[in-house]
Amino acid sequence: MPELPEVETMVRGIRPHVVGRRVADVVRPRCRRKPILIQPGFRQLRSRTRGCVITTVERLAKRVLLKFDSGDVMAIEPRMTGLVLLADPPTKEHLRLEWLLNGKGDYESLWFWDRRGLGTVRLYDPQQFASRLGPDVIGPDALTCSLDEWEERCGRTQRAIKVALLDQKWIAGVGNLYASEILHVARIHPERCAGDLSRNQIRKLREATQTVLATAIRYEGSTLSDGTYRNALNRNGRYQNEHRVYAREGQRCPACRRGTIRRFVQAQRSTFCCPICQRAPRR
């Protein structure tokens, strides 16, 4: 379930071990499953990255970006179950790609592991790389979505606020789990129309987004009960212990201690909220 905090944890985990190292080779492990999507194909990925030095590792919303001295940018999208690892994959049979690394370092390879296989790896040349994403909710300072930008975006959609938060072209970086957590902290009902929010509520929403995601990063993300891990050494995150509403249906709300956490479905995804803290919109 890599969302933004889990992807940021991967990036921080691998960065010190891969920056400056040269790709000796790219290997697709033997695997009878349907191969993951690689653009522009495995052979080109291999020939264009072999011999290149990794210059930077960054996060863009929920993607891992590796940049090479050739100028090429490789975007790894873990989607539902992908992990970027230096060691200790959960299983052998779901290993999808291996980058063998030359030079001194604690680890021989960088791996992409993906149980469901919905993840993608794409290689872009410098001119070609242009993101279709909205502003990153918690990017480097200059790129962090400003309050004015939040307000402008809210004003131009009639969708429920939680549905809008999950739209990466609208604002990038919020996933399903953290959307419920953020709205609970901001005390905004998930079904409220985004266009109806006051400037003050939008301010609270923006602040809740930044504090929830920053805190989750400090805890190295959330490891859910399905046991898909996310840090670079396949260790559990710890933020799942801090969840206030996600997957806590039927439990007492930890904020008001009066409401009972409810679950319902929006845009085919589970939403959790406290009906007392988060007042339902008029219908």
Q: By CB under 7 A, name the binding residues for DNA.
A: 1-3, 33-34, 61-63, 77, 79-81, 93-94, 115-118, 132, 156-159, 163, 166, 168, 175-177, 224, 226, 228, 263, 265, 267-270
In the complex, minimum distance from the CB of residue 228 to DNA, in angstroms, rounded to a whole number: 4
In the complex, minimum distance from the CB of residue 153 to DNA, in angstroms, rounded to a whole number: 10
3-state DSSP call for residue 204?
helix
By beta-carbon proximity to DNA, the closer residue of 57 and 60 is: 60
Query: Are the C-beta atoms of 273 and 255 separated by less than 8 Å?
Result: no
In the complex, minimum distance from the CB of residue 17 to DNA, in angstroms, rounded to a whole number: 24
Going 174 to 177 to 180 to 184, the CA torsion angle's sign is negative
Distance CA 66, CA 72 (A): 9
Strand 37-39 versus strand 95-102 pairing type: unpaired
By beta-carbon proximity to DNA, the closer residue of 21 and 192 is: 192
The first and second tokens of residue 201, run together, are 């509520």
E strand segments, the chain? 22-27, 37-39, 54-60, 63-68, 73-77, 82-85, 95-102, 109-114, 120-124, 262-266, 269-273
Q: Is 12 an annotated catalytic residue?
A: no
The first and second tokens of residue 67, run together, are 């940049």
Q: Is 89 an annotated catalytic residue?
A: no
In the complex, minimum distance from the CB of residue 66 to DNA, in angstroms, rounded to a whole number: 17
In the complex, minimum distance from the CB of residue 270 to DNA, in angstroms, rounded to a whole number: 3
Q: Is 3 an annotated catalytic residue?
A: yes
By beta-carbon proximity to DNA, the closer residue of 17 and 94 is: 94
In the complex, minimum distance from the CB of residue 10 to DNA, in angstroms, rounded to a whole number: 13
Which listed residue (46, 48, 62, 153) is catalytic? Answer: 62
Residues 6+ apart with CB under 8 A from 76: 63, 64, 65, 66, 82, 84, 112, 119, 120, 121
Residue 193: how many other CB atoms lie within 10 Å: 14
Q: Tokens 């801090």 — which residue?
A: 242
The first and second tokens of residue 100, run together, are 């063998």
3-state DSSP call for residue 77?
strand
By beta-carbon proximity to DNA, the closer residue of 64 and 232 is: 64
By beta-carbon proximity to DNA, the closer residue of 216 and 253 is: 216
Which listed residue (15, 28, 262, 269) is catalytic? Answer: 269
By beta-carbon proximity to DNA, the closer residue of 1 and 182 is: 1
Which amino acids are annotated catalytic? 2-3, 62, 269
